[in-house]
């Protein structure tokens, strides 16, 4: 057998129980549309868009062709003090989708880098305006902002922080927005708006003029799809405005149509000052992340620098990489041509109805959902995450991929999915839970 433990030994897999995996590997050799195929050529329906990133379906030939053409023409151009044309074009395409006023786009290579970049922009903005004392960040329990040290410091998921030192100083966490009374509520809960007052408390506790920014995922994704209570994001916006605090939305999961709008900011009618994105930006065909910045923030940095000076001492060797830009533009073309955002909006009601219809299963303790994103909590079995891993492996064997976070299954089908794919997700889910 090719995939024996010896063959698998050298690759240290990320966010994986390596020893368990290598004794029972799950290898995917091919993917197309809403399906992946394992090494026995068995079909696995992708119910989580990979890791929320293959919004337009797997392995789109248009994107592969665009990347190939670009790499042949010019595989690399240094992005510092020079540029290649696609970087401008992709930035323009993204700016068409972002909420009005969030028109300046900075590129990196991942969601984690986008979060680092957003934090540095926030520091630099206040510094440029003579408010360099604003160095605190307000984040939230159960937040996930990637794995670089900035994101780890902001993170509210304990396992992602526990072993990695104290992190950057000055991060304050608000309470998360999951409330027991809102179990099995579809969409935005009616109660819980008062949780936003944690930001006001932090401002009063530390001094409003010490806080640089408040960062939240509009829907906390990786912790299990925590949908914000009605009025919650609006209230965060008000508090930020009252105290000169920047509001950052981390839209790495929510962005690019998953909410039935280009970004969650539009779905919830709240515009942040800075927005991070990644994942579906290139349909996962190339690594890329980006930060969208408001005119106010951008011009503060531009105006503070002397003529000819670099305005923001930040960037990556692979910022706006030509291959990633080509993938991004080809992805945006597919979004336009196939109206993927409209499709997501149209499919959402059916999706949520079918997912919430699983709530009769006694092993399910909660379901939350919005747009084409849902979290289904399972009754734990012999310790946190044990059932989650076991269930994920069983699902895979039964032909379905779902991302698990602890004991929560995250359902996020590709935006090209059809109703029968949703039916199949629910059917395999129910059957597999029936194995316990
Ligand atoms: C909200 C959020 N921010 C940041 C990240 C990190 O993105 P990446 O894994 O591309 O670094 C993720 C990844 O899931 C995410 O969900």
Is 14 in the same domain as 136?
no
The CA 113 to ligand 1 mean position distance, Å, reads 9
Quickly list H helices, 47-135: 49-52, 61-73, 85-97, 111-128
| Range(s) of the domain holding residue 409 | 5-56+339-433
pLDDT in tens, 46-55: 999 999 999 9
Question: Among 337, 354, 378, which residue terminates a domain?
Answer: 337
Rounded mean pLDDT of 101-109?
Answer: 98
We report the CATH number of the domain holding residue 128 as 3.40.640.10
pLDDT in tens, 110-121: 999 999 999 999
pLDDT bracket for residue 1 (50, 70, 90): low
- Residues in the ligand 1 pocket, defined by CB under 6 Å: 110-112, 115, 144-146, 217, 221-222, 250, 252-253, 278
pLDDT bracket for residue 158 (50, 70, 90): confident
Predicted local confidence at residue 413, as pLDDT = 98
Is 48 in the same domain as 77?
no
Is 186 in the same domain as 305?
yes
The CA 251 to ligand 1 mean position distance, Å, reads 9
Is 68 in the same domain as 139?
yes
Structure tokens at 365: 């303790």
Provide the total of helices (H) and of strands (E) in the chain, helices listed first: 15, 15
Is 188 in the same domain as 293?
yes
Predicted local confidence at residue 335, as pLDDT = 98
Q: Is the pLDDT of residue 187 over 80?
A: yes
Predicted local confidence at residue 145, as pLDDT = 98
Is 271 in the same domain as 376?
no
Is 168 in the same domain as 116?
yes
Predicted local confidence at residue 2, as pLDDT = 81
Question: Among 304, 337, 370, which residue terminates a domain?
Answer: 337
We report the CATH number of the domain holding residue 19 as 3.90.1150.10
Predicted local confidence at residue 161, as pLDDT = 87
Q: Which of 28, 32, 33 is nearest to 3 (CA)?
A: 28
Rounded mean pLDDT of 223-230?
Answer: 97
Residues 230/188, Cβ–Cβ less than 8 Å: yes
Atom number of ligand 1 nearest to Cα 250: 1
The CA 331 to ligand 1 mean position distance, Å, reads 19
Is 267 in the same domain as 367?
no
Q: Provide the percentage of residues in the chain whose pLDDT is more than 70.
A: 100
Atom number of ligand 1 nearest to Cα 113: 11
pLDDT in tens, 298-318: 999 999 999 999 999 999 999
pLDDT bracket for residue 40 (50, 70, 90): very high
Question: Among 294, 309, 337, which residue terminates a domain?
Answer: 337
Is 158 in the same domain as 196?
yes
pLDDT in tens, 310-354: 999 999 999 999 999 999 999 999 999 999 999 999 999 999 999
Interacting residues of 274 by C-beta distance below 8 A, sequence separation 6+: 102, 118, 121, 122, 213, 246, 247, 248, 249, 291, 292, 293, 294, 297
Q: Is the pLDDT of residue 7 over 80?
A: yes
Q: How many domains does the chain have?
A: 2
Is 161 in the same domain as 288?
yes
Is 130 in the same domain as 225?
yes
Is 51 in the same domain as 129?
no
Q: Is the pLDDT of residue 203 over 80?
A: yes
């Amino acid at each position: 057998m090719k995939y024996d433990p010896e063959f698998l030994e050298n690759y240290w897999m990320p966010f994986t129980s390596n020893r368990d995996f290598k004794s029972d590997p799950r290898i995917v050799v091919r993917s197309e549309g809403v399906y992946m195929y394992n090494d026995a050529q068995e079909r696995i329906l992708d119910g989580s868009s990979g890791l929320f990133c293959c919004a337009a379906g797997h392995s789109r030939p248009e994107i592969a062709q665009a990347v190939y053409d670009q790499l042949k023409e010019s595989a690399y151009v240094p992005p510092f003090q020079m540029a290649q044309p696609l970087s401008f074009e992709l930035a323009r395409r993204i700016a068409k989708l972002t909420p009005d006023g969030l028109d300046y786009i900075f590129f990196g290579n991942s969601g984690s880098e986008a979060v680092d970049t957003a934090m540095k922009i926030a520091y630099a903005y206040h510094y440029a305006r003579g408010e360099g004392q604003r160095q605190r960040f307000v984040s939230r329990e159960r937040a996930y902002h990637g794995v670089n040290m900035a994101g780890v410091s902001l993170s509210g998921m304990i396992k992602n922080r526990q072993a990695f030192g104290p992190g950057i100083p000055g991060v304050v966490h608000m309470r998360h927005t999951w409330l027991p009374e809102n179990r099995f509520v579809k969409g935005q809960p009616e109660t819980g708006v008062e949780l936003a007052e944690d930001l006001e408390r932090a401002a009063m506790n530390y001094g409003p003029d010490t806080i640089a920014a408040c960062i939240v995922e509009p829907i906390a994704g990786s912790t299990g799809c925590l949908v914000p209570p009605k009025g919650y994001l609006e209230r965060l916006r008000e508090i930020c405005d009252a105290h000169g605090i920047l509001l950052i939305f981390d839209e790495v999961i929510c962005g690019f149509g998953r909410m039935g709008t280009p970004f969650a900011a539009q779905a919830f009618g709240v515009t942040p000052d800075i927005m991070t994105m990644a994942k579906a930006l290139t349909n996962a065909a190339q690594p890329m992340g980006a930060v969208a910045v408001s005119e106010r923030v951008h011009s503060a940095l531009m105006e503070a620098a002397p003529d000819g000076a670099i305005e923001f001492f930040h960037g990556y060797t692979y910022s706006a990489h030509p291959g990633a830009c080509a993938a991004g533009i080809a992805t945006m073309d597919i979004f336009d041509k196939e109206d993927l955002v409209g499709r997501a909006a149209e499919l959402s009601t059916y999706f949520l109805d079918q997912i919430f219809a699983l709530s009769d299963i006694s092993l399910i303790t909660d379901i939350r959902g919005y747009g084409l994103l849902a979290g289904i909590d399972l009754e734990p079995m012999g310790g946190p995450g044990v059932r989650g891993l076991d269930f994920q492996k069983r699902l895979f064997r039964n032909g379905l991929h779902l991302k698990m976070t602890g004991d929560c299954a995250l359902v996020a089908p590709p935006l090209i999915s059809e109703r029968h794919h949703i039916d199949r997700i629910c059917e395999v889910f129910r059957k597999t839970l029936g194995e316990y």
